[in-house]
Amino acid sequence: MAQRRDFLQTLGMMGISLPMIHKALERNSSYTPSGAGRPLILCSRDEYWAKKVLPPAWAAFQASGNILDGIEAGSNVCELDPEDTSVGYGGLPDERGVVSLDASIMYGPTFKCGSVASLENIKKACSVARLVMERTDHAMIVGAGALAFAKAHGFPEENLLTEEARLTWLEWKENLSENDDWLPPADKDYYRKLRKRGTINVLGMGNNGEVAGITTTSGLFGKIHGRVGDSPIIGAGLFVDNEVGAAGATGRGEELIRNMWLIPARRKNESRQVSTTSVRRSHRAYILCEWWI
């Protein structure tokens, strides 16, 4: 069985670090118990968002005792908040001006998982992903099928495009030329200013040590219609193993998908040198795609 230290080292090498969240957790014992093996909920955001996400997440967990309820409630905070332009309602749209969402959920004790991709007009994508996990034997539902599944379970169709997001998209469209195709414009600084992304992972451990996680996002701004990143892919945007822990990813999904083989390499107990070489190769691939950042 992998050791906790190895697991944390792997997260560190892949850039998955939550120091600000740990500080926020330490400051508020009302929703964060202390001590090894005790229940815990984390999120992949700075202190500002941690204060928004974690209290309702912990309250939902305390009310039901189900860690899935806790991480879902925390993720819903971002999905419903238009201030977050990278998740759910208010997320920045694709090249057509359409907001589409990706989300995944996984439960460590059973390895059960569910995800949705290219889901339109539904605010709480992670809640739909949970229903995929709990009410079907599927792992992923996409596009029109995901929308129909959500509507069948009572989710209302709603416009996800806020006025702020529409104006940002309009500015982006006005600065494209017929020569841009699907590549970034020559002015990288301008593109970086508009190209916002975020995603959120909410990870938790319940009363009996059961581990679970959620990743939810609206994806890359200006993406090709139908593009799917790493977030709904189990093993790329999210993975949970009760014997090891939980990990979620944020950043450019294409690079995470290309380099997801790092995790099985570490699980095979390959040497530190092999792991270091793997990370360097991943970094090189990232640099080669630097213009996307």
pLDDT in tens, 119-171: 999 999 999 999 999 999 999 999 999 999 999 999 999 999 999 999 999 98
Closest by CA to 256, choosing from 280, 224, 286, is: 286
What pLDDT does residue 257 have? 73
79/61 Cα distance (integer angstroms): 18
List the chain residues with pLDDT less than 70: 1-37, 177-197, 258-279, 281-293
Q: Is-contact 70 198, C-beta < 8 A?
A: no
Active-site residue identified among 10, 32, 168, 199: 199
H helical segments located in 183-271: 188-194, 253-258, 262-267
Q: What CA–CA distance (Å, rounded) separates 21 from 218?
A: 22
Q: Which residues pair with 114 in a beta bridge?
A: 105
Residue 168 falls in the annotated catalytic set: no
Give the pLDDT score at 286.
54
Report the 3 state secondary structure along 7-48: HHHHHHHCCCCCHHHHHHHHCCCCCCCCCCCCCEEEECCCHH
Is the separation of the CB atoms in 99 and 164 below 8 Å?
no
The pTM of the full predicted model, rounded to 2 decimals, is: 0.77
pLDDT of residue 177: 67
Q: In whole angstroms, what is the distance from residue 16 CA to residue 90 CA? A: 25
Which is it for the CA torsion 109, 111, 112, 117, positive or negative?
positive
